[in-house]
Structure 1
Amino acid sequence: MIQVEHLVKKFGLRTAVDDVSFEVGKGTVLGVLGPNGAGKTTTIRMIAGYLPPTAGTVAVNGIDVAADPVAAQKQMGYMPENTPLYDEMTVAGFLGFLAELRGFSGKERDRRVDAILEKCMLAKVRHQTIDTLSKGYRRRTSLAQALLHDPAVLLLDEPTEGLDPNQKQVVRDMINEMAPDKIILLSTHVLEEVEALCSRALIISEGRLKADSAPADLKKRSASYNALTVELLAPRAEALQAFGRIPDVERVEFVAGDDRKQVLRLVPRDRQSLAVGAVETAARHKWMVTEMRSDPGRLDEVFRQITTTADVVKQSA
């Protein structure tokens, strides 16, 4: 369990993190989402024990990070956005060096290095110096160093930043594989990352926690949530009028069509479901519906809405 209570960080007169509180348990991938400069990385660094808070507390599995940072850090693996890597060392040599710093030696050190090289798909580059690695392999090496001691908690800051789509998928697959057995905090400004990986998301803007929900629940706050696209065989003008009379329809938009087939978009009032009313309307007029799909909402709409409003909005996960 990670418990963050009333966390504040100030740099001079600037407040980078302003009274952030949340809890997260095992089996959760928690996305820490926000614009650049929102306070995401600062929050992660305070949880990791690398940056002291101005106020507030962080506890990891019951250990106060400020009071006993060494014990707390044994519980955590931290992958910064720009992990310091020793370019002149081989991948295996670098990981072996870090394993020794973690207190492992001899056969146990070698066992852990071999295991993590396999887990992170680094075995074929184990003898290459780090300066010869592609960005994808460098990010995997960064992840490997965070996993050497098999921590209960993983703190990942922009883990797929700068990777191509194939490299991103490799890292995401690794995170998904580990998710059931760990607490994973993933700091990102990439909405696609949140939808692909996270069971819960925090949105931080201007240092303040503005939302805390499952991504699917956040999308329900989108203006397009439950908008209904209907493809049917019907006269255009008559269909526009008939669907516009359905209760809870705010407006009907013509998308495409010809003399026979129409594609209409029904926008709901207060995000109400329109499917039943649309089916009943089509049946009453004996119009053949060829396709109907409801919009699940868009996280980018919600992100813009939340990060451009002044009020703090918190939702339970």
Structure 2
Amino acid sequence: MNAAPDRTTPPVLQARNLRFGWPNRPLFDGLSFDLPPGLSLVRGDDGCGKSSLIRLIAGDLAPESGTLSIHGTRLDAQHSAYRQQVFWIDPQTEAHDALSAAGYLDSLSQHLPRFSADVLADLVAGFALEPHLNKPMYMLSAGSKRKVWLSAAFAAGTPLTLIDQPFAALDAPSMRLLTELLQDAASHPSRAWVIADYEAPAGVELASIIDL
């Protein structure tokens, strides 16, 4: 764990003694860290467990041992309450393929109490998603799907937002917009964003780095 967080600000998430692995492939054991407000990076090479750690934090996977808590709400004890404080979507998911992009985005306000329609409108315009909103998700390119997921992530308003390989499949204008969004996230006083990638985005200040 690098770039020690500011200890004067309470962490958004606390992870203690996490252990996880796949059959015949242990990934980590005794992993502990605090995630402060701002932007943090889970960094490592292919196969080191970046996506698995993101899914553990999201509550999509269960650790073999250890605990995760957001502002004192523990995943193992209060699963639903914990999950309501996290935004995460698997960028490879096909679960929403039958929905239009607009239908998926509209559905988020039903279970994300801090979801911002105004922020979403700005993101849809910024990512040039308007021509794709009425298309079913299965018809969208990988890049357009990624823009839908990113728009959802930054409009979600959750205390913790998780994004796996945020720049994958994006065009140059969208990469510039995403860098600006991450720069804004880095200075947020109370919410936390975590990205999993091979390296830190250029020009963005990180609150912490988890090296795997």
- Normalised to the residue count of structure 2, the TM-score between the two structures is 0.79
Cα distance change of structure 1 residues 177 and 95 upon mapping to structure 2, 3 Å threshold: same
Where does residue 159 of structure 1 map in the other structure?
Answer: 166
How is 1:17-32 mapped onto 2 (pairs within 5 angstroms)? 17-26=28-37, 28-32=38-42
Whole-angstrom CA distance in 1 between matches of 2:119 and 2:180: 17
Whole-angstrom CA distance in 1 between matches of 2:43 and 2:30: 16
Where does residue 203 of structure 1 map in the other structure?
Answer: 211
Cα distance change of structure 1 residues 17 and 81 upon mapping to structure 2, 3 Å threshold: farther
Cα distance change of structure 1 residues 31 and 176 upon mapping to structure 2, 3 Å threshold: same
Query: Post-superposition shift, 1:43?
Result: 1.0
Cα distance change of structure 1 residues 129 and 13 upon mapping to structure 2, 3 Å threshold: closer
Contact 1:41–1:187 at 8 Å: present in 2 too?
Answer: yes
Whole-angstrom CA distance in 1 between matches of 2:41 and 2:112: 31
Whole-angstrom CA distance in 2 between matches of 1:69 and 1:35: 30
Contact 2:91–2:149 at 8 Å: present in 1 too?
Answer: no
Where does residue 25 of structure 2 map in the other structure?
Answer: 14
Where does residue 182 of structure 2 map in the other structure?
Answer: 175
Where does residue 100 of structure 2 map in the other structure?
Answer: 90
Structure 2 residue aligned with 1:144, among 137, 144, 151?
151
Q: Secondary structure at the match of 1:197?
A: coil
Query: Post-superposition shift, 1:134?
Result: 3.9
Where does residue 307 of structure 1 map in the other structure?
Answer: none
How many aligned residue pairs are there? Answer: 195
Whole-angstrom CA distance in 2 between matches of 1:178 and 1:126: 25
- Percent identical among aligned pairs is 23
Query: Post-superposition shift, 1:132?
Result: 4.1
115-124 or 41-50: which moved more?
115-124
Cα distance change of structure 1 residues 94 and 78 upon mapping to structure 2, 3 Å threshold: same
Amino acid at match of 2:76: A
How is 1:1-317 mapped onto 2 (pairs within 5 angstroms)? 1-26=12-37, 28-84=38-94, 86-100=96-110, 102=111, 112-113=116-117, 115-121=119-125, 122-181=129-188, 182-189=191-198, 191=199, 193-199=200-206, 200-204=208-212
Contact 2:112–2:157 at 8 Å: present in 1 too?
Answer: no
Where does residue 3 of structure 2 map in the other structure?
Answer: none
Cα-Cα RMSD: 2.5
- Which is richer in strand? 1
Q: Secondary structure at the match of 1:47?
A: helix
Between 1 and 2, higher relative CO (CA 8 Å, sep ≥ 6) is seen in 2
Contact 2:18–2:66 at 8 Å: present in 1 too?
Answer: yes
Q: Secondary structure at the match of 1:144?
A: helix
Amino acid at match of 1:201: I
Query: Post-superposition shift, 1:113?
Result: 4.3
Cα distance change of structure 1 residues 194 and 175 upon mapping to structure 2, 3 Å threshold: closer
- Normalised to the residue count of structure 1, the TM-score between the two structures is 0.55
Structure 1 residues not aligned, in runs of 5+? 205-317
- Which is richer in helix? 1
Whole-angstrom CA distance in 1 between matches of 2:182 and 2:47: 25
Write the deviation string for residues 265-308 of structure 1: whole angstroms up to 9, x where unpaired: xxxxxxxxxxxxxxxxxxxxxxxxxxxxxxxxxxxxxxxxxxxx
Whole-angstrom CA distance in 2 between matches of 1:131 and 1:197: 32
Contact 1:17–1:42 at 8 Å: present in 2 too?
Answer: no
Cα distance change of structure 1 residues 50 and 82 upon mapping to structure 2, 3 Å threshold: same
Query: Post-superposition shift, 1:136?
Result: 3.0
Structure with the greater alpha carbon radius of gyration: 1
Query: Post-superposition shift, 1:34?
Result: 0.2
